[in-house]
Amino acid sequence: MKNLKAILLTEGMHGMISQVEGMAKALGVEYSHKIVKLNFPWNLIPPKLTPISDIILKDKVYLMENDTTDTVISCGRKSVVASIILKKRNPKIFTIHIQDPKVSLDNFDVIVAPEHDGINGNNVYSSKGAIHYITESEIDRTKPYLMKNINSEKVVALVLGGPNKYYKFDHEQLLNVFNMVKSNFVSKGYSVIVIPSMRTPKDSIELAVREMESCGYVVKGVDKQAYLSAYGLANYIVVTCDSTSMISEAATSGKPVFVAHMKPKKNNYRFKKFFELFREMGITRDLGEKVETWTYNKHNEAERIGNLIRDKIKS
């Protein structure tokens, strides 16, 4: 498997990159990452209505690599057509799509989708939560990175997401999260490490600096080493509810994870199913519940599903 080469196709968002790279690492393949951009108006149109043609693609360079590529791992709506085109040009390529492609599942050799999406099929592998690129060894290796910024052995990591179509992530709700962290942790002697993500707005980071920097340390930009180090140093982890990917990543640490809930803008049925699943698995509780220690099996679905897909590729 180590000699296989893969192209990873995403729209460039952290959650997507984390998932395709996590799968590539689990499969043990060499990989290069390509950002898929579509020409107007195809960038606005669902995949099922998009023509299977390279005329819709802004950058076609990676299509020239189909003869040297063994595997395509894609994630996100815009990557669907690019993956199908590569497969049509070279049917020997093994294609893996992560999440619901919104087209016929038969277009891919394997679909990997979270259990809470409710997708079924002969080529579907269901994950409990999102797969991702974080490993326990990376957390351990990177732990010292933020040590100089924290003076307490009692640490809580607060991981911030950002607005999406389900959550507004406005200042009022964010202030409520900060105040709950202060009430539940800072008042009990914990230092806070605040970690923003790629989706965290600049003004939300500035608000975190004003409200939380006196309580510990606020990372002021996207920093993967700081993200991993915070998981290693923390006794507890708090993650905002807008990202199932980051909550899944936090579960790799084995630390107790609190979900900071916000009011949804619309029906968040899929999120609710995910929250229920992780709570039943003993991984998460809601921010505001009693702060106590609990344990669970460190959770990394990329490794489990990667082993299953490796066997399928070999056959």
Q: Where are the domains of the chain?
A: 5-133+302-314, 136-286
Give the max Cα distance, the chain: 61
Instruction: With beta carbons less than 8 A apart as the criterion, state whether 241 and 262 touch.
Output: yes
- Looking at 30-153, list the stretches that DSSP marks H as alpha helix, in order from N- to C-terminal side: 79-89, 136-142
Instruction: With beta carbons less than 8 A apart as the criterion, state whether 79 and 11 touch.
Output: yes
CA distance 210 to 86: 49
Specify the pLDDT at position 58.
85
Query: Is there a common fold for 5-133+302-314 and 136-286?
Result: yes
CA distance 212 to 178: 7
CA distance 291 to 221: 28
**Residue 312 reports pLDDT greater than 80:** yes
CA distance 61 to 75: 19
**Residue 1 reports pLDDT greater than 60:** no
The per-residue pLDDT of the chain, averaged, comes to 92
CATH of domain 136-286: 3.40.50.2000
pTM of the model: 0.86
CATH of domain 5-133+302-314: 3.40.50.11010
Q: In degrees rounded to 5, what are phi and psi of residue 32?
A: -130, 145
- Of the pLDDT bands very low, low, confident and very high (cuts 50, 70, 90), residue 117 is confident
Q: How many CB atoms lie within 10 A of CB 33?
A: 16
CA 217, 174, 131 angle in degrees (round to 5)? 80
Residues sharing a CB contact under 8 Å with residue 158, sequence separation 6 or more, in sequence order? 177, 181, 192, 193, 194, 195, 212, 238, 260
**Residue 220 reports pLDDT greater than 70:** yes
**Residue 9 reports pLDDT greater than 70:** yes
